[in-house]
Amino acid sequence: MDLKAHIRDVPDFPKEGIVFKDVTTLLASPEASQFVWDTWEKQFRGNGITAVVGIESRGFIFGAPLADRLKIPFVPVRKPGKLPAKTIRREYALEYGTDCVEIHADALKAGDRVVVIDDLLATGGTAAATGELVKELGAEVMEMAFVIELSFLKARATKLSSYRVSSLVQYDSE
């Protein structure tokens, strides 16, 4: 399956100089979407994974069907102020300023073995903050899996160096 053929480049979105990797075109193809979940299902079935953690918002779209296939819980990690019950939060640095992610304090427990899912790995800041939240709840990150990896940003060697990381499509340059 040529997944790259289903990913649309949108230049200068959301601001000038960024090439946005648009996965709505991938999601519009049942064959391409099923390929993503088929691949991950094979990758994670039988690994003792106990929960799928999806990062807002495209990590929900890709993560929830995987949790369904593996018949394990789906846990959302969200931007601040969206989760209604008691949360824990992590701030992380952006190029300019900071951002923040939250998880429900009772969403995971010691002994849980999770896979973290998002559509795209860029600098790894969001995923690293998510990993910290998972660990703070006593759970273990078995793997972080992405559809797309902007490998030229070298997140695997930097922010995610302590995690096992996988991706289905890599871009070596913008």
3-state secondary structure of 94: coil
55 or 137: CB nearest ligand AMP: 55
On the question of a cis peptide bond just before residue 29, with omega within 30 degrees of 0, the verdict is no
Which residue of the set 31, 95, 102, 143 is catalytic? 95
For ligand AMP, the binding residues in 22-81 under the rule CB under 6 A are: 55, 58
Give the other-Cβ count within 10 Å of 128's Cβ. Answer: 20
Which range touches ligand AMP (CB under 6 A), out of 13-21, 39-47, 67-75, 105-113?
A: 13-21
Judged by CB under 6 A, the stretch of 33-41, 63-71, 76-84, 116-124 that binds ligand AMP is 116-124
Contacts 24+ apart (CB under 8 A), 8-11: none
The span from the CA of 156 to the CA of 163, in Å, is 8
Instruction: For residue 58, indicate whether it is catalytic.
Output: yes
Tell me which amino acid residue 115 is. Answer: V
Options 117, 124, 147, 165; binder of ligand AMP; rule CB under 6 A: 124
122 binds ligand AMP (CB under 6 A): yes
Q: Which stretch binds ligand AMP (CB under 6 A): 35-43, 66-74, 113-121, 137-145?
A: 113-121
- Which residue in 6, 7, 21, 76 binds ligand AMP (CB under 6 A)? 21
Helix (H) or strand (E) holding 134: helix 125-136
Specify the DSSP element, H or E, that contains 117.
strand 113-121
Number of residues that bind ligand AMP (CB under 6 A): 16
The pair of structure tokens assigned to 130 is: 């998510």
| Two tokens, residue 128 | 């690293």
Interface ranges with ligand AMP (CB under 6 A) = 18-21, 55, 58, 118-127
> Catalytic residues, which ones?
58, 95
